Amino acid sequence: MELSQLSIRLHDIMTRQVQQLALLREYLIGAQLIQAKVFALPPHDPDAETRNEVFIPTQHFSGHEALMAAIDAWGRLSAFPGENTRLVFRLPGAIQVHSDDNDLLAGIVLQINADREEFKSLVTSAPALSHPEDRHEFLHSRSMFPGLMTLQLYRQIPLPSLEVRSVSFCWAHKNSQKNVTRDSLLRSIAHAQQCPPKSMIDPSDWIEQLEKEKELLASLPADAQLQIRRPLPVQPQAWLTTAAGPKMVVASTPLLILSPNKIAMGELPDYDANNRRAPRRPKSTADEPLIPRLWLYQKETTL
């Protein structure tokens, strides 16, 4: 698809998104508010190295104030003047409402989520926008959406499809894991040597560093079990108890629960790394990375 055609498609989706969000706001304000709790967190920069956060305070809101904060969180897609569009805000929580239009409300949310998924798919699959920086420049150009907070738009409005009996909140630590081979890494590093980062003052330092990494990998067996285990920033999670059993979901934005029967709803505590619970199961890789730059570990073999 040509960029001109892509531009038309994305503008059509964004127009529909704004219309559906306004409709959602209208129906939610007119619905019966059963209960609402949200927990405001400091803004998060996904490009920053924030994997070792020690303390994250939570600010609690409930009732009508929480409902309005949730509506704003679901619908705020643009940054304020002077605000970094790469920053994203997180507002865990849950909103429970009921009205005679529950089915219509659910349909509006499903349409909003479908449009967001289509927008993301069109952008990330465009051949001319294969690099993240190309996508950023295109989406934020003057003719597109200069203030768009892309990650906010990509987020779905959480709408449980099953009857929810209770919801509680916690903090979760996760890793992005990928098994890799020695030879594929050697090829990747050799390619990286040809493309030093623009921030490098002396490219020879970069080439020398990668040469050492290649020597380390070459000393391993060709069938060495290697894994990239990149820690993700700690994130809030919602633990749902449903008719089909427990379910855990990412709680970056409030869940919307459509039900007349008041459910049990918990609180999200402040995050304190000093009170972090030990892992429930042992790691399959060594504690120290082979190559810290790549978060590369060698998997432990069992006898």
CATH number for the domain that contains residue 264: 3.50.14.10
Asked if the structure places residue 154 within a domain, the reply is yes
| Predicted pLDDT of residue 281 | 53
Same domain, 145 and 187: no
Total tally of structural domains belonging to the chain: 2
Q: Are residues 213 and 97 in the same domain?
A: no
Q: For residue 184, what pLDDT is reported?
A: 94
Are residues 157 and 195 both part of a single domain? no
Q: Containing domain of residue 187, as a range?
A: 182-221
**pTM, 2 dp:** 0.82
> pLDDT at position 87, please?
75
Q: What is the mean pLDDT of each run of 10 residues along the chain (303 residues)?
A: 94 98 98 98 65 85 98 93 81 97 97 98 94 92 95 95 94 89 94 81 87 96 93 90 92 96 97 76 68 91 55
Looking at the domain assignment, is residue 151 inside a domain? Answer: yes
Tell whether 157 and 197 lie within a shared domain: no
Residues 129 and 205 in one domain: no
Query: Does 236 reside within a domain?
Result: no
Any domain includes 137: yes
119, 198: one domain: no
| Residue 286 is assigned to a structural domain of this protein | no
Domain assignment present for residue 168? The answer is no
* pLDDT of 303: 46
Does residue 113 sit in the same domain as residue 216?
no
- Pair (79, 146) in one structural domain: yes
Residue 14 lies in a domain: yes
**pLDDT given at position 302:** 54
Q: Which of 168, 166, 172, 173 is nearest to 238 (CA)?
A: 168
Same domain, 135 and 273: yes
- In DSSP terms, 35 is beta-bridged to 96
In this prediction, residue 49 carries a pLDDT of: 47
Phi, psi at residue 132, to the nearest 5°?
-55, -40
Residue 207 within any structural domain of the chain: yes
The predicted structure's pLDDT at residue 266 = 97
